[in-house]
Structure 1
Amino acid sequence: MIVVLGLFERHERQVVDEVDSRNAGHLDTQRQRSGVVLGISDLDDLGQGGLGHLDHMVGPVVNGIDGRCLCKLFAHTASLQAILMHASGSGRTRGRFRPMNDAQPTPQQAATVRIDDGVAVIDFDDGKANVLGHNSIASLLAALDQAEQEGADAVVIAGRPGRFSAGFDLNAMNAGPDEAREMLKRGVDLFLRCYMFPRPVVAACTGHAIAAGAIILLTCDLRVGTQGDFKIGLPELTIGMSLPFFATELARDRISKRHLTRATALGTMYRPDDAVDSGFLDEVADPDNVVSTAIERARGLTGISRGGLVLTRNTARGAIADSIRSGLDEDLSHFSVGS
């Protein structure tokens, strides 16, 4: 019997672990290091691949706070192998826009930019789980630079349907501490770029926002989520990791004080409605309207003073950004997967 401990995005395939079913939901120290959950399970696509009805919850498979196995799937090996090779489809078109990058997203171009009445819409879509790896981080940073250079009055960062971002790329995390820390450093560059961006930034959270995906939400001015069975939060402590200093600083700034301990020290994962109460989101919309709602909210912010916003960013957020930068080297020196 196969128990899926975690379905991690590894570019061309998904990874499963074969274990004794009696140990489902439990990981020892060695397995935590190799099986840490930084992505989400793409169970919808598995179901489309022919497995049939799936009674599941998306999340890390660990001995969690309530002792439940959050993501279980039983199947015969041959069936599962065929399903894991099933490619998930994606694609959407939205309204009027002027394309600035005509090419389809590739591993080197996970983010594309389009202008919608003065609002730069950054579509983040790697065709999979929207993991944050070296290429996607560089693509998002380039998209933000492009939006600023084009003189956009506001920015929307939109994920792909069902997935805003599954967090940092597991491949890079497992490639060794030096590469993992370099990726986290670039990730912090992205977080602070959003956090201190000179124009209003609105997130269209189109689905799951896990770990680093949730951190992006903390850096945006307004966050519009989508209704549905999605998970949003920082699960690091439930999967054998500590929460980095930059994450706790951003959480302290944006998360409701009532939820701060649950969201950080307890690794609570929130459904969209609860994510509004906790501070990860500001509102939710139905899936068909989440991006258009975010664009509408961004358009309502286009009249904000450019110079005034830059000064206010510095006074309201500058000290936090400086603290994150000054503590980054020490923060990264303590980082390790499964620590």
Structure 2
Amino acid sequence: MTDSTSPVSTRRHGRVLEITLTNPPRGYMNARMANDLLDTVRAAQIDDSVGAILVTGGIAGVFIRHYDVGEIANVSAALADGRIGPENFDKGSAVLGLIKTMLDSPIPTVAAINGMCMGGGCEFALSFDMRVAQEGDYRIGLPETRLGIIPGVGGQYLLARLIGPARATAAVMRGAVFSPDEACRLGVVDELVADARARGLELAQQYAARPRIGIDATRRLARMIEAGGDGNALLDQTAREFAGTLIDSPETDRLIARFLNEGEDILAD
């Protein structure tokens, strides 16, 4: 049964699971939201009926404003009096677990950024396969150094994947936040649209319609590319993955037969 008090709610659109984040009044991420999100995403990833995940904000003008600074202050106090140590931060953190789970997701993910998206909220958005931002007067970015801290769950790394290490480092050092237009020009988000949720749902449905075998192979290759694999090894692995999509794949056989029968126009559907 869905907990009506949770800041995380879900809705199905065929094979797309839409997750809406609502934590009034300000729309912060906190430990409760992170844990509920982690549980929801993990459940979706093992559900064969889910072909893509879409996440959007449920408060007007907010995706996730940022992580609750009050909770960060409590952590600071716990570190100061020795109740926890730095080693606790790479173990058991729901937010870090959430980021890792998103990066390793076996199903495509789309963030429909429909408002403020800073700090931990931005780090979360950066872990998606695709980010669609809504036009408007709000900010996207990583302002942590303005408080004397750094993005704590991989923000610098996640941003570097999109805009390169040098630009990401410069942005993090100055605590940069961007307008949606600037974020799109830099490549922090992929598209800028009038209605992020509508466009995000459209893209998620396209992902969900693709046969899983090709998605899985593409993800495996992406991990090799990101790890800086040798070019020849990547080419060899690509050839093996291509062969794998042809072996024992009834869905691939059906689609190729349809192409041969109906012509190449089906590729433009």
Normalised by the size of structure 1, how large is the TM-score? 0.58
Classify the secondary structure of the residue corresponding to 2:9: strand
Indicate the residue corresponding to 1:167 in structure 2: 66
1:133 to 7, 25, 30: 30
Residue 214 (structure 1) aligned with residue 122 (structure 2): yes
Q: Which amino acid aligns with 1:165?
A: I
For the 8 Å contact 1:173–1:179, the answer to whether it is kept is: no
Q: Distance in 1 between matches of 2:180 and 2:21?
A: 20
> Which ranges of structure 2 fall in alignment gaps of 5 or more residues?
228-269
Cα distance change, pair 187–318 in 1 and its aligned pair in 2 (3 A): farther
**How far 1:200 moved relative to its partner?**
0.7
**How far 1:244 moved relative to its partner?**
4.1
Indicate the residue corresponding to 1:148 in structure 2: 45
For the 8 Å contact 2:99–2:153, the answer to whether it is kept is: no
Classify the secondary structure of the residue corresponding to 1:126: coil
RMSD: 2.6
Classify the secondary structure of the residue corresponding to 1:168: coil
Indicate the residue corresponding to 2:258 in structure 1: none
**Larger displacement relative to structure 2 (158-167 or 241-250):** 241-250
For the 8 Å contact 1:224–1:283, the answer to whether it is kept is: yes
For the 8 Å contact 2:145–2:175, the answer to whether it is kept is: yes
Deviation by residue 1:305-339 (Cα, 9 ceiling, x = unmatched): 42443343344237869xxxxxxxxxxxxxxxxxx
For the 8 Å contact 1:256–1:278, the answer to whether it is kept is: no
Indicate the residue corresponding to 1:291 in structure 2: 197
For the 8 Å contact 1:225–1:281, the answer to whether it is kept is: yes
For the 8 Å contact 1:259–1:278, the answer to whether it is kept is: no
**How far 1:148 moved relative to its partner?**
2.6
Deviation by residue 1:214-239 (Cα, 9 ceiling, x = unmatched): 11121111111111110110111222
Q: Which amino acid aligns with 2:173?
A: A
Correspondence list, 1:41-120, <5 A: 101=2, 104=4, 106=5, 109-120=6-17
Classify the secondary structure of the residue corresponding to 1:298: helix
**How far 1:125 moved relative to its partner?**
0.9
Q: Distance in 2 between matches of 1:184 and 1:235?
A: 25
Indicate the residue corresponding to 2:56 in structure 1: 158
Q: Which amino acid aligns with 1:171?
A: G
**How far 1:271 moved relative to its partner?**
0.2
Indicate the residue corresponding to 1:278 in structure 2: 186
Q: Which amino acid aligns with 2:53?
A: V
Aligned length: 216
Classify the secondary structure of the residue corresponding to 1:280: coil
For the 8 Å contact 1:232–1:271, the answer to whether it is kept is: yes
> Which ranges of structure 1 fall in alignment gaps of 5 or more residues?
1-99, 322-339
Q: Which amino acid aligns with 2:50?
A: A
Q: Which amino acid aligns with 1:231?
A: R
Classify the secondary structure of the residue corresponding to 1:260: helix
Q: Distance in 1 between matches of 2:85 and 2:213?
A: 38
Indicate the residue corresponding to 2:159 in structure 1: 251
Q: Distance in 2 between matches of 1:307 and 1:207?
A: 34
Deviation by residue 1:126-178 (Cα, 9 ceiling, x = unmatched): 12333222210111112212323442111101112211112222232122233
Indicate the residue corresponding to 1:41 in structure 2: none
Normalised by the size of structure 2, how large is the TM-score? 0.71
Higher helix share: 2
Q: Which amino acid aligns with 1:248?
A: Q
**How far 1:117 moved relative to its partner?**
2.1
